[in-house]
């Protein structure tokens, strides 16, 4: 990805964040930080990684800034939206093509958002009308589309053309403790992704019930996995994620995917998730 195009993507992302806090009535709280970051993103003396760190820092501060006594924002029923990507559709080339990224994001992920919104509205209506046969149907639709939307929303931010390709700190130590080494984890995760039956995901999760990391495989988005775990790093192995470029060679796609992984997102998620500790059974 060309440097100027990436700089423009970061500026557009921050503009979206600015619009978000304006709509929430919180602009005054972030005005100085936003102004400073816009100036930083126009500094051609910085690297792409430094631009990303500034933009992602603003995103983190905005999304984690609710005070304990401040009502937490929520998504009204049927009002989920497609998240904007923090990079262009061509940013992950040559490992994931622009054509795949655009189709995957604007068509496939959008369909999960639309399906989730529709299922929520219909489920609300069916429950109010006590139409319990329809409730069962819309609960299945809710599980499929909801899991698809949420996993994709983590997936996009787990990749970046200038990302952190290897974890460090607490997450690295937990990977070493849970799997023996980072190389052992990477091999096990790759094999899990390559061997998912049909369409699905490989997911690194924090398991509060066992106090360690685990690698899970999910068919479709919601089947044959576990409850009571927190996803940290998901890899989409549905054919729409790779077929236009890799045809039926899922293994090649999985191997190349490591070239665009950004561990910063997983580290941020782990920093929050590992505080959740249930009684160990």
| Cα–Cα distance measured from residue 273 to residue 142, given in angstroms and rounded to the nearest whole number | 24
Model pLDDT, residue 70: 54
| Cα–Cα distance measured from residue 30 to residue 64, given in angstroms and rounded to the nearest whole number | 13
In sequence order, the β-bridge partners of residue 261 are 159
Task: Give the sign of the dihedral formed by CA 242, CA 248, CA 251, CA 255.
Answer: negative
Model pLDDT, residue 9: 80
Class of domain 169-273: alpha beta
Residue 24 or residue 152, greater confidence: 152
Model pLDDT, residue 72: 58
| Cα–Cα distance measured from residue 153 to residue 181, given in angstroms and rounded to the nearest whole number | 28
Per-residue pLDDT tens for 81-125?
Answer: 999 998 899 999 999 999 999 999 999 999 999 999 999 999 999
pLDDT band, residue 69 (cuts 50/70/90)? very low
pLDDT band, residue 201 (cuts 50/70/90)? very high
Domain boundaries, the chain: 3-63, 98-158, 169-273
CATH superfamily of 98-158: Fe,Mn superoxide dismutase (SOD) domain (1.10.287.990)
CB 52 within 8 A of CB 60: no
Task: Give the pLDDT mean for 19-38.
Answer: 82
| Cα–Cα distance measured from residue 210 to residue 133, given in angstroms and rounded to the nearest whole number | 37
| Cα–Cα distance measured from residue 98 to residue 104, given in angstroms and rounded to the nearest whole number | 10
Residue 78 or residue 69, greater confidence: 78
CA atoms within a 13 Å half-sphere pointing along the CA-CB vector of 275: 5
């Amino acid at each position: 990805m060309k440097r100027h195009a990436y700089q423009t993507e970061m500026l557009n992302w921050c503009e979206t964040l600015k619009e978000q806090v304006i709509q929430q009535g919180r602009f005054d709280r972030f005005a100085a930080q936003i102004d400073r970051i816009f100036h930083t993103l126009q500094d051609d003396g910085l690297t792409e990684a430094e631009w990303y760190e500034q933009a992602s820092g603003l995103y983190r501060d905005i999304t984690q800034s609710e005070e304990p006594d401040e009502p937490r924002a929520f998504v009204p029923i049927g009002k989920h939206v497609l998240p904007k990507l923090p990079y262009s559709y061509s940013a992950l080339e040559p490992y994931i093509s622009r054509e795949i990224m655009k189709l995957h994001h604007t068509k496939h992920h959008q369909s999960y958002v639309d399906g989730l919104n529709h299922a929520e509205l219909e489920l609300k209506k069916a429950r109010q009308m006590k139409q319990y046969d329809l409730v069962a149907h819309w609960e299945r639709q809710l599980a499929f589309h909801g899991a698809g939307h949420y996993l994709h929303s983590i997936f996009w931010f787990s990749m970046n053309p200038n990302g952190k390709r290897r974890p460090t700190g607490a997450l690295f130590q937990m990977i070493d403790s849970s799997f023996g080494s980072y190389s052992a984890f990477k091999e096990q995760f790759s094999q899990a992704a390559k061997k998912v039956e049909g369409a699905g995901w490989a997911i690194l999760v924090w398991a509060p019930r066992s106090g360690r990391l685990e690698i899970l495989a999910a068919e479709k988005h919601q089947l044959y996995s576990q409850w009571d775990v927190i996803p940290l790093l998901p890899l989409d192995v549905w054919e729409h994620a790779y077929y236009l470029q890799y045809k039926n060679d899922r293994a090649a796609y999985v191997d190349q995917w490591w070239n665009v992984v950004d561990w910063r997102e997983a580290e941020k998620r782990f920093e929050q998730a590992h505080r959740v500790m249930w009684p160990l059974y």
